[in-house]
Structure 1
Amino acid sequence: MQTVLEFQRVLLKVQASLTVDEVQDLVFLCSDLLSLKDLSTVTSAGQLFSLLENRDLLSWEDPSLLLELLRILKRNSLIRSLTSEDVMPTNGTTYSQQISPYRQLLYELSESICEQDLKNIKFLLLKTLPRKKLEKDTTLLQLFLEMEKEDLLDGNNLDVLQKIIGDINPSLEKRIIQYKMESCEIDTMEEQVDRLSLTEGAAAFLSGGTSVNLQYNIMLDQYEMKGDKRGVCLIINNCDFKDCGLRNRDGTDIDKKSLEVVFQWLGFEVLTEQNCDRHQILQVLRDLADRDHTSTDCVVCCVLSHGQIKGIVGVDGQIVTYRELIETLSPSQCPSLFKKPKLFFIQACRGTDDQPAAFPQIFPDDEVMPVSDAAVPRDSIPEMADYLLAMSTVPHYVSYREKDNGTWFIQSLCHNLKLLVPRGVDLLSILTKVNSDVSKKTDKSGLKKQMPQPEFTLTKRVAFPPPKTRPPLP
């Protein structure tokens, strides 16, 4: 409670330091993270911060978005005062990367345009935007938002803006051209990633490696994501294991909440089942298979539980094998999911071994680790297409759960979905980033590690459409 109160004091200090114009700048920068409907009512920094907190985008544990926004506003002295003397935790990372380069470009342009240039831009837009949108008090950032509403401007469509800026300020046109070139390089990199099989070559590429092993030179098709509904996301959240003698999974509700928020944001109907035994796990999956998924794009199942090498452990201590788990949604059991992606995210242990860190020479003494969970065997995928099993760890090893922060795997998954889906990154590339992030985590001793593992029989790329708005928290 004390840390929450301290963080609110930090936000109050920031609010008092910002001008009215800076608040509107923040509203614009956050327009990819929050719905325009919510942002339309924001008149103060406090209101904006409350919205970000309600969407789990800003907290005492992770203030990185606030620091990133202040960096973009060039409020460096304020950042220094906030991060000095432990006023606010930084967790070793001063800035996040949640504000897109595109949004930052538009803000940069707005800061470089003088009053006369703005008048000229409004004149050039007279035949394009309604006159009431071009009133005297309309700012350039507000004009950008109106152009986006009219489909005249987005991260991949800067031609109209470039022409207008080029007529008004040729030096700023060069900045747009530079952004286009940088974006083209990123697109080329992602196309190369798409051509990689999910092996060490792909991981090396995403982590900055110089050696890229191209497996084939054709572009993959993409699963359609144009249905009336995105689909169902089923979350099985097992916490209470006292009846079978296993430890309760304290902290799992943090993962459950994060998953609910992210998959609702992605357009899924989220169903949550608590503390399921073996029979109940299979039954809720059979109920899911009995649904008509004809108008949906895919299905997601997240299982948060204890586990063994053979499968998931129910709260009665009985195992559901991974084959049993996914065969409930096979084409024979659920024809309406035929040729649609069936995505499983498994947070559970796959054994009892601690995965050691690899060092070139000297090993320090061992220390206390977070409590453990784990995941799935190599031969767990049946001979059927369109499945993904994203597992929190490799066979025989535990995976880690922090009582106050949730599990390393699920929290990284949710963070990277929020960060990368709006940028058009496909799911396997996102999971490669999750692999990279989790592999860098460790305990205080630096000895214990975790390596997630995706297994799949997907035949196309899975890429979720960037959400237009965020729903309220459940």
Structure 2
Amino acid sequence: MEFLDILYEIDSQLGETDVDAMKFLCKDILQAKKKLEQVDSGRELFDLLMNSDLLKEDDDFLLAELLYLIGQHSLLKKLNTNKETVKEHLPHYGKISHYRQILFEISENITTKDQDEIIFLLKLSKKIKRKASFLELLNYMEKVEMISEDNINTLEKVLTKVSPDLLRITTTYKTLQAQCNHNTNAMSTTGPAVPECETEDLQKPQFSIQVSHMEKPCDGSNTESLGVIVQEVHSEGEGKENYNANIESQVGDLSLNDDEPAPDTSSKIYGMNRKHRGYCLLISNSIFAKSSPRKGTEADVAELTYVFEWLGFEVVTFLDRTANDMKRHLSDVSKRDHSDRDCFVCCIMTHGESGTVMGTDNEILSISEIITYFVAKNCQTLSEKPKIFFIQACQGKPPQSANPIEKDAAATDKKYVPSIPDDADLLIGMSTVDGHCSFRHVREGTWYIQALCANLVDLVPRGEDVLSILTKVNHDVSQKADPANNGKQMPQPNFTLRKKIVFPYPGKPYNPNRQMVTMN
């Protein structure tokens, strides 16, 4: 495939936030600053890089580095490489500076609420346009010289108040800079600089890059990823062992967009910067062969559709499916390519019993089996991405009721012990704790789903993470009561998440088009 065709394919899978991130990372290496500001697409950025001799058919590592840093690891295969190979060669061939990387890392961990507080503390409310991204805020701070490569004190001060956990990033950066400056000064006073390695002295990578020269290890243009500075800062090239030999284990692993888990150092928030947010699979059963109908479920389906489409998901809906039909739909969606999607959401609304849900034929399907379709070994394109399941169903067998508040109950005495598959990045929101009922209004929908939707609409724009939102859902549902039997309900989230899930603000107020929702 021609190189330009490859660039075209990569561009077609990049979202607006991806392009903004790459523009930000390229600020220090491109001289044409005004042209960079005007870039609106990946193609325009690639063209600018090629015109600056930074991107060539026989030297595409800069593009690989950018895709690696912004978390678009699946696109690396189009350059005939992968994230492990790119990470291995960053110390030798990287161009993005430490400074640019730490700013981007901070931006990936800042919530909307954090950003609003930072703007307030810096008295920039009149300077920064509403709904500006954090990268735009950083650009402005650089423009007015609030921050620079040699001075990030202002940023540290506001982070101390707003998000002190992010100080680990700035502390590591300043430690590295201080050590580099110390070594540079020592070299300038004790003799001539150690000669740099020539390209031919280095082992070439396995993919097609040709590097014309090596940068100095501590200058602003060298871009060893902070994610590969582990325990000890090694010298930059095979022939420079003595250059940084006295830099010991003062710098920890910051894992910049590297999805491999590392205790206390990995990114705090799952990436939400791919081209698509993800699929939202809705399965709602109303009519059953041997059980009472679930009146009101259509209100839940409509509200979930409005909310998740607003959040940027592609909603796929199925109504009144047997247990085997449900398995088939789950399997089909799990086999789709999720490479350019951030996450996956599945909502199942039906009757249920302990650890199970029910098809319209009254056959049961275990919740653990539902989840297993999407674990990493069965759905590799969702590996290391959050997989969220909302289960609206009773998990116990309640008595019958003849009032507007009904229970999502099952007509079976079979008992299953609910379990979560041994896999990371899962969040299962159960409408009720095991052995108890879920309540549903015959016109307004279920307590749980309606509270979930209301709180997503209210709290996503505030930058709250999904677990915090589910905590608020627990509170709201716990305040409700069945007027006939004084019945109560307590939802229960279970999870194996490694990071926070924060849905980006959609950029527009929630204003659903209350028309007929299309069903499959």
For Structure 1 versus Structure 2, the TM-score category normalised by the shorter chain is 0.5 to 0.7
Tell me the residue number matched to 1:341.
386
Cα distance in 1 between the residues matched to 2:127 and 2:457:
21
**Change in CA separation of 1:324 and 1:153 when aligned onto 2, cut-off 3 Å:** closer
Matching of residue 427 in structure 1 with residue 466 in structure 2: yes
1:433 partner SS: helix
1:380 partner SS: coil
Tell me the residue number matched to 1:317.
362
- Which of the pair is proportionally richer in helix? 1
Cα distance in 1 between the residues matched to 2:278 and 2:134:
31
Q: CA deviation at 1:315?
A: 0.3
**Change in CA separation of 1:186 and 1:306 when aligned onto 2, cut-off 3 Å:** farther
Tell me the residue number matched to 2:405.
370
State the TM-score, normalizing by the size of structure 2: 0.48
Q: Which of these residues, 234, 237, 241, is aligned with residue 281 of structure 2?
A: 234
Aligned length: 287
Q: Which of these residues, 278, 281, 295, is aligned with residue 250 of structure 1?
A: 295
Q: CA deviation at 1:267?
A: 0.4
Cα distance in 2 between the residues matched to 1:386 and 1:460:
8
Residue pair 2:131, 2:507 contacting (<8 A) in 1 also: no
Cα distance in 1 between the residues matched to 2:292 and 2:301:
18
Matching of residue 436 in structure 1 with residue 475 in structure 2: yes
1:253 partner SS: helix
Q: CA deviation at 1:379?
A: 3.9
**Change in CA separation of 1:389 and 1:255 when aligned onto 2, cut-off 3 Å:** same
Q: CA deviation at 1:290?
A: 1.2
Cα distance in 1 between the residues matched to 2:380 and 2:506:
28
Cα distance in 1 between the residues matched to 2:357 and 2:416:
11
Residue pair 2:356, 2:418 contacting (<8 A) in 1 also: no
1:299 partner SS: strand
**Change in CA separation of 1:149 and 1:327 when aligned onto 2, cut-off 3 Å:** closer
Residue pair 1:220, 1:461 contacting (<8 A) in 2 also: no
Alignment of 1:262-411 (within 5 A): 262-353=307-398, 370-373=405-408, 379-411=418-450
Q: CA deviation at 1:378?
A: 6.3
Tell me the residue number matched to 1:37.
none
State the TM-score, normalizing by the size of structure 1: 0.52
1:222 partner SS: coil
2:130 partner SS: helix
Q: CA deviation at 1:367?
A: 10
Tell me the residue number matched to 2:498.
459
Cα distance in 1 between the residues matched to 2:438 and 2:476:
14
Matching of residue 417 in structure 1 with residue 399 in structure 2: no
Residue pair 1:292, 1:336 contacting (<8 A) in 2 also: yes
Q: CA deviation at 1:394?
A: 0.7
Tell me the residue number matched to 1:66.
none
RMSD in angstroms over aligned alpha carbons?
4.3
Q: CA deviation at 1:447?
A: 2.6
Matching of residue 224 in structure 1 with residue 271 in structure 2: yes
Cα distance in 1 between the residues matched to 2:378 and 2:345:
16
Tell me the residue number matched to 2:129.
147
Alignment of 1:113-132 (within 5 A): none
**Change in CA separation of 1:257 and 1:149 when aligned onto 2, cut-off 3 Å:** closer
Cα distance in 1 between the residues matched to 2:326 and 2:368:
13
Q: Which has the larger radius of gyration?
A: 2
**Change in CA separation of 1:471 and 1:440 when aligned onto 2, cut-off 3 Å:** closer
**Change in CA separation of 1:444 and 1:217 when aligned onto 2, cut-off 3 Å:** farther
1:401 partner SS: strand
* % identity of equivalent residues: 41
Cα distance in 1 between the residues matched to 2:315 and 2:348:
13
**Change in CA separation of 1:370 and 1:188 when aligned onto 2, cut-off 3 Å:** farther
Residue pair 2:482, 2:488 contacting (<8 A) in 1 also: yes
**Change in CA separation of 1:186 and 1:331 when aligned onto 2, cut-off 3 Å:** same
Residue pair 2:481, 2:487 contacting (<8 A) in 1 also: yes
Query: Which residue identity lines up with residue 278 of structure 2 in the other structure?
Result: G
Cα distance in 1 between the residues matched to 2:322 and 2:311:
29
Q: CA deviation at 1:443?
A: 2.0
Q: CA deviation at 1:157?
A: 12
1:240 partner SS: coil
1:148 partner SS: coil
**Change in CA separation of 1:388 and 1:258 when aligned onto 2, cut-off 3 Å:** same
Tell me the residue number matched to 2:25.
none
